[in-house]
A and B are shown apart, each in its own frame.
Chain A
């Protein structure tokens, strides 16, 4: 069906409405999924925004969802965040259904949107302190929070500046710091490098790499094929709400990924 003429290990996705077709048990190596979608679907009125998504992401894995606007990437993130209710199927975090365990599941995850929005009247440190406290890390000292901001790439001199003076890149770093401070098991990223300059994007990728090494499961929705290849361990290509193919990034090159992606877009 898809990329069949390539020699690369892509997994064609059959849509048979069988949520059990992809189960954490299939991850192998004794690993269990931290983020899992089982036959996950979402309709907005007559529009099928997400169609029977089956997905399982293990600790230390970075799964990049690629696809054009409207492919269902952000809907997938929103379903994992519990911001919208699924029409059918389940979004599971650490085995818990998001729909029925809102608070517990959110305590396990961190979220970084395309544009990290912060409180302009507060400093970067105060923003981090606030979000960390809401995430259950209210005991972190200002010194420790400052270290986290620096670890996330913010200049030490900037931590006490009001966020109204921050660039987008600096705000994204505060977003990363919020995720680090929370010590989340899983990270949901929605176009996190959009609008960042190449250096800031590289720094961002390095941070994701470090979180991956700590065993964090990452689900990243992105348009950036290069970043997906560099950062991801697996890539899923979505179109019209469907996950149409899935491939491991170690087995393919940048050009192959681009070719496969474009082929799906033109099918």
Chain B
């Protein structure tokens, strides 16, 4: 076996085509890693600076009515996790900051970039793009002739006449090719690991554990591609046929399936346009919906008067305006929950379609897992958006509560810097690795099935490979 591995490794390294392809892919990988890391680091620093400035602005408001402060609002910035330099995921399409203000849940998701075409996605050079598209292509170019080429050249007869088995030969070839690929991928993995360890951007969120799992995901993907390529090479009558078939698989996997997944998921689970969504929220905010009614100011006044046993609002121990503003917030929150909840659920269903379609294109499973582990998928965007919205609601409750409890109806009330300083900043804890993997069971299963299926197919085809 080791002789086959060594010979295959030597043969691949001496092949000028491999050298050029490997140099090109390696350079793209290193450049994309370096660029991604620098960009992530720069973005993180900008976010930190902007967050500090926003906080400073919040605390430096001076004296003002708490409700005015609620309208003044504050920005929240989604932290970039350590591995986001490998895969920027949906961040470019969803945005990473949100303005938290009274009466409104401002959106991340409803942006024109959500409708970005597949071509635009491919246009962005990231390490994930190189790993998901170019490395499989390199594997195909190295493997298509592994058995078909030997058969065509006539060397397969001589090899098998020596007494080695077909399986031994195929495994040896696979390991030899894997060894050559390792020359390209191991340095890139080390660079990635170094980037994680030395000055990694973003909060912890188990970056090393995520990195190890991410490496495992790509290893499984490459192994599946290698096994699939071997199976086709063992089955095809000629190396050319094997190459054409495998290039077809590559095109379907990398170019066709992602586009089809986007279109099919939107067709099965349509989402409103940003404009439609905003208009719908606006309409419901104006008039309410069947089971969510706008608060009735007069009824609130009567209720408060009855509760406190007074006849005039001026005699109430609370500022009726503050109570009403909070009730309006609660009403708005229910409208937001209703609309955003439905929208997020639709995105989730679209995500399931993507994951399910991975049965025809393993790239879809790998992409989902890669974004998840990098912390740049829709689910982790939702996780942050939910935390930011909870913070906004707490902020509004504090402002309205201060107004209600520390002033009387009709007063001109101004709160001081103490209130702004007492308001805690947004402390966001990114999801754990277990949470991420728990959300991605389907992708893990499909990728595992691809891996096992490809290896079994290779074993079956190799066993029956014709000598020629």
Contact = CB atoms under 8 A, between A and B. Distances in A.
Contacts of A130: 3, 7
Contacts of A122: 7, 10-11
A111 interface: yes
A106 B157 CA distance: 12
Given A102-B165, A103-B165, A131 B158 contact: yes
A113 B10 contact: no
A119 B161 contact: no
B116 interface: no
B160 A121 contact: no
B157 A134 contact: no
A138 B7 CA distance: 13
Nearest to A110: B161
Nearest to B166: A102
Interface centre among A106, A109, A134, A188 (most CB of B within 10 A): A134
A195 interface: no
Contact of A121 (B14, B161, B162): B14
A107 B160 CA distance: 11
A70 interface: no
What interface size band does chain B fall in?
20 to 34
A134 B153 contact: no
Contacts, number: 65
Interface of B is mostly: helix
Most buried by A among B161, B162, B467: B161
A135 B154 CA distance: 17
B153 A117 contact: yes
Given A83-B467, A134-B3, A107 B157 contact: no
A200 interface: no
Could you say which of B14, B154, B155, B163 has the most chain A C-beta atoms within 10 Å of its C-beta? B163
A138 B160 CA distance: 16
Interface in B145-193: 153-155, 157-165
Contacts of A103: 163, 165
A131 B160 CA distance: 10
Contacts of A135: 162-163
Contacts of A182: 162
A118 interface: yes
Contacts of B155: 117-119
A182 to B, nearest CB: 8
Nearest to B157: A113
Contacts of B161: 81, 106, 109-111, 188
B195 interface: no
Interface string B2-46: 011001001100110000000000000000000000000000000
A179 to B, nearest CB: 10
A133 interface: yes
Nearest to A138: B3
Contact of B154 (A78, A110, A115, A121): A115
Contacts of B11: 119, 121-122
Nearest to B161: A111
